[in-house]
Structure 1
Amino acid sequence: MPFASRLRLLPSLLALIVAALAAGAVPASAHAAAHRSVAERPHHATATKKKRVAHKTKPAHRSMPADAPSTKLSGPKRRTKRAKPRHGPPPAPQHAVHASAKNAHAPRLLARCGFTPASRKQLFSHAVYVVDENTHTPLYARHADTVAPIASVSKLMTAIVWLDSAHAPLQQRLSVTAADLDTLKFTHSRLGVGASLTRANMLHVALMSSENRAASALSRDYPGGQPAFIAAMNAKARRLGMKHTHFVNATGLSPQNVSTARELASLVRAADGYPLIRRYSIDHEERMATGQGQLQYVNSNRLVRYGQVRASVQKTGFINESGHNMVMRMMVHGRRPVIVTMLGSATPEGSRLDGVRIAHWLSCSLR
């Protein structure tokens, strides 16, 4: 091609080159921007992901080294771990099981020994309370908290208060006076006015044979006389926790001498702490020199007198208002003390039969 023609094409070629360069600059710019955007996106996403991973693994990093085994536990292992502490208080269900096991070993009267609803209905006494002394476990209670007259059972407290005073020698003699006569019930006594016994014998016949004039003479012989003696009886009852027990005389002839079958168990337990009460109350018989002749006394409790039960302390009592009462500290199998209190039998035979029945329940049920 001639040189002149080439010169004419030169502007067109330059224009094409400029246009081509302009067209190539735009895609390059866009590609650079896109490249920057893509580069930035993975950077931010990676940073965010790292932060989340670091946040999740941070507690594990603090609590254990990286090569430590996993702390996840399977279901059974997790339960075992919760139940592992054994020195703390057991769960509530275990308490209930423990209490049930304890009650299963507590002494109780057994149906196979005749302790049935039908046999309990055959008891003649209105109020009955039976308690195992060693474990303080009540074995049977019927109307045990009913307040009722206790009659000559009062003489157990009479003996306790008189022995607590220890103000006169037991071998000194004490005479019966007109002040000892019963002007309330007008009961009879073989101890006439002027008869005298040693104080020990007065206590003996008051407990063994429920001699009213002997009990009255002992209360009159107390420092301060009978009012002080009665106050001492009531004070002793309060110290023994006998809140419903009250005395107005030493003989029990007043229906205002009251207590409950349950509280009388505390009186019997206290009386057992006195050797003379134990000895005199269960003695079968004794001959006494009264200064007016010899008198033969026997135990008013036929269960004890004829050896139908073995007891360490006993007392009977009767007035019209109370019915026939009997309290005993029975020695089951000769060694296990059980206190039995019975109030309100209509007849002395009913009271005796109740004692026989309860003694059988005890000897068969307890070992």
Structure 2
Amino acid sequence: MKKLLLCLSFLVLSFPLQAGTSLIDQLDQLDSESIRLGSISAAVVEIESGEVLYLKNGGSVRPVASITKLMTAMVVLDADQPLDEKLTITRADRDLLKNTYSRVRFGSRLSRRELLLIALMSSENRAASALGRHYPGGKEGFVEAMNAKAASLGMLRTRFVDATGLSPGNVSTAGDLVKMVRAASGYPMISEFTTQADHVARFENPSYSLSYVNSNVLVRRGSWDIALSKTGYINEAGRCLVMLTEVDGRQVAMVMLDSYGKWTPIGDAGRIKRWINTGESGTIAGAALRYEQSKSGQDMQTLAGG
């Protein structure tokens, strides 16, 4: 029987596709053994059907860095606070965890709408912090709302501790993040802001302007049909990327967590797309492959240790 199944799989994967179709048109033809990604955890789901096309360490709980800001945005919009209200960036918004740099000056004022835009598009941490701080109940109330929202979405292995994602205490799984991507895509403003290529923010008190670009190079290039995007990075999380993109007319959620270097999640996105279209993902760069093998080995040791 095993030999028969192998033969059938070979015949299915070898049979030429009809013109104008890809493997995603025939989901049962996708072979998870034919895809290799550099990301330590990953999930690929066809949104309309809910079909899980690929899962790699999908239940492994990991820091998610600025992917957190998708939840931040949903909580802000759910609160229905005035989007035109000007909020002030203060020293309470400085990063005391990672000491990351921000060009936004203390005392600057910007509308809630634009703070949301630069937090999502360019991952501006002071903007995300200010949004949480100006929530009813302050930062504590905001984090409570984030976790309540996650629970309502069935993200049972997810926990948030801040609005920025700078804390490694913001954790989730690839499987849970698919749920968050799906939910976030239902907010037109989040879809719009995460797929905007660039923006010039004009601050008040003092008056100055800052130019921002999307942190996802695939959005900036404009060669992909992307409906939602968010990048993330801290040392503990590695490079992370989530996207909702169209492949041959179907919406596909891609989640990639803990990759080596800023280009590996971009490369993994390309490998996923290639795998969906051709059945083969292609190769991984040597440094990224060594990182993946090393981290996978650490995961196995952790599991063995209980």
**Which range, TM-score by smaller chain?**
0.7 to 0.9
For the structure 1 residues 108 and 206, does the alpha-carbon distance in structure 2 shift closer, same or farther, using more than 3 Å as the test?
A: farther
What is the Cα deviation at residue 362 of structure 1? 2.8
Matched, 1:220 2:140: no
Q: Which one of 74, 78, 88 corresponds to residue 175 of structure 1?
A: 88
In structure 2, what residue type is equivalent to 1:362? I
Matched, 1:187 2:187: no
Matched, 1:242 2:155: yes
Matched, 1:353 2:267: yes
The alignment's C-alpha RMSD in Å is 1.7
TM-score by length of 1: 0.67
How many angstroms apart in 1 are the aligned matches of 2:224 and 2:232?
18
Give ranges in structure 1 of 5+ residues lacking alignment. 1-104
For the structure 1 residues 194 and 109, does the alpha-carbon distance in structure 2 shift closer, same or farther, using more than 3 Å as the test?
A: farther
In structure 2, what residue type is equivalent to 1:214? A
What is the Cα deviation at residue 307 of structure 1? 1.9
> Residue 337 of structure 1 aligns to a residue in which SS?
strand
More helix by share: 1
Query: 1:209 — aligned with what?
Result: 122
Query: 1:252 — aligned with what?
Result: 165
How many angstroms apart in 1 are the aligned matches of 2:113 and 2:76?
11
Name the count of aligned residue pairs: 254
What is the Cα deviation at residue 293 of structure 1? 1.2
In structure 1, what residue type is equivalent to 2:186? G
Query: 1:317 — aligned with what?
Result: 232
Query: 1:326 — aligned with what?
Result: 241
In structure 1, what residue type is equivalent to 2:165? G
Query: 2:285 — aligned with what?
Result: none
Q: Summarize deviations over 1:6-33 as a string: whole Å, max 9, x none.
A: xxxxxxxxxxxxxxxxxxxxxxxxxxxx
Question: Where does structure 1 differ by over 6 angstroms across 4 or more consecutive aligned residues?
Answer: none
In structure 2, what residue type is equivalent to 1:157? M
Matched, 1:107 2:22: no
Q: Is the 8 A contact 1:109 1:139 kept in 2?
A: no
How many angstroms apart in 1 are the aligned matches of 2:28 and 2:100?
41
For the structure 1 residues 256 and 107, does the alpha-carbon distance in structure 2 shift closer, same or farther, using more than 3 Å as the test?
A: same
How many angstroms apart in 2 are the aligned matches of 1:217 and 1:360?
40
What is the Cα deviation at residue 360 of structure 1? 2.2
In structure 1, what residue type is equivalent to 2:119? A
Query: 1:165 — aligned with what?
Result: 79
What is the Cα deviation at residue 363 of structure 1? 4.2
Query: 2:255 — aligned with what?
Result: 341
Q: How does 1:257-272 map to 2 (within 5 A)?
A: 257-272=170-185
Matched, 1:129 2:53: no
Q: Is the 8 A contact 2:153 2:180 kept in 1?
A: yes
Q: Which one of 215, 229, 234 corresponds to residue 300 of structure 1?
A: 215
Higher relative contact order (CA 8 A, sep 6+): 2
For the structure 1 residues 222 and 126, does the alpha-carbon distance in structure 2 shift closer, same or farther, using more than 3 Å as the test?
A: same
TM-score by length of 2: 0.80
> Residue 270 of structure 2 aligns to a residue in which SS?
helix
Matched, 1:139 2:37: no
How many angstroms apart in 2 are the aligned matches of 1:109 and 1:345?
27
Give ranges in structure 2 of 5+ residues lacking alignment. 1-24, 280-306
Q: Summarize deviations over 1:101-147 as a string: whole Å, max 9, x none.
A: xxxx8624646xxx753xx33x2111110011111111011111100
Percent identity between matched residues is 45
Q: Is the 8 A contact 1:108 1:139 kept in 2?
A: no
Q: Is the 8 A contact 1:308 1:356 kept in 2?
A: no
What is the Cα deviation at residue 351 of structure 1? 1.1
> Residue 147 of structure 2 aligns to a residue in which SS?
helix
How many angstroms apart in 2 are the aligned matches of 1:338 and 1:211?
26
